[in-house]
Amino acid sequence: MHSSLHILAIVSLLTFTSFAQSNENPSSPATESTSGGFTYGELKAGYGVTQFQSGLKERYESGNFGTSGGGLFSIAAYRKFESLGHLHFGIKYKALGAAASKGDDNREMFFNFHGISVSTKYFPFSKSATEGLYLQGDYNFVTQFTQKYRKSAALEFDHQFAIGSSFTLGVGYHIPLSNRYGFVASLEYDMASRQGEVQGIGDKQFRNSNIAVQVGLIF
């Protein structure tokens, strides 16, 4: 069910962006020279590294696992309202798919997450709010992680998942390329708190953070 919701969110973002752009001036949001309103899409990919806190770090540290990181993908639709100056508001879907983290005794650990957020960007130096440096803040109102420990030779597998919310702070840069397109790069730091059920314990809180670098396309 969660996968279906995430697929629906991606399709909705793409549909909304295409519809909004088709009803606006054909000049590009990425190269817009005025301070008027416009809508645009953002597609980014990069690499993120996860840091584990309460509820997660205990087993991670005791198993002497290496760095947990992997590919981070995001797709978003943003709207710049004419009356709000340097601010953009949007909705975003983000997902991390991590490679195996190696531990003692040939054990492996995987930690992945995905979520949907409301997102804001602030362009402090661009009068048109279309290029240059921006500051970002996201509230991920639905986010889920899946964590798996395994020792394949012994057929030992242990899965855990939890659902909650997170906050993201970031800094990035927009570079106009040509009509309807632009380049974007960003550095983002995510702080998450999620709740899950653990056998023999019941409800348990899990905290982690993630720092990521991404590059992508404005369209």
Cα angle: 111, vertex 115, 119; to 5 degrees: 130
Residue 175 scores a pLDDT above 80: yes
- The per-residue pLDDT for 164 is 98
Residue 189 scores a pLDDT above 60: yes
**Domain count along the chain:** 1
CB 144 within 8 A of CB 159: no
Cα angle: 69, vertex 75, 161; to 5 degrees: 45
- Rounded percentage of the chain residues whose pLDDT exceeds 70: 84
Mean pLDDT for the chain overall? 87
Determine the structural domain holding residue 85 and report its residue range: 2-218
Which of the two residues, 84 and 4, has the higher pLDDT score? 84
Q: Which amino acid is at 12?
A: S
Closest CA to 126 of 93, 166, 161, 172: 172
Q: Which helix (H) or strand (E) element contains residue 177?
A: strand 156-178
Which of the two residues, 180 and 141, has the higher pLDDT score? 141
Strands 108-122 and 87-98: antiparallel
Domain of 140, CATH number, reads 2.40.160.20
- The per-residue pLDDT for 68 is 97
Q: pLDDT-based confidence at 200, cuts 50/70/90? A: confident
Which of the two residues, 171 and 16, has the higher pLDDT score? 171
Q: pLDDT-based confidence at 11, cuts 50/70/90? A: very low
Residue 4 scores a pLDDT above 70: no
Residues 151 and 6: their CA atoms lie apart, in Å, by: 30
Residue 1 scores a pLDDT above 50: no
Query: How large is the average pLDDT for residues 177-195?
Result: 94
Residues 53-89: tens digit of each pLDDT: 999 999 999 999 999 999 999 999 999 998 888 999 9
Place of tokens 């088709």: 22
- The per-residue pLDDT for 35 is 55
CB 146 within 8 A of CB 157: no
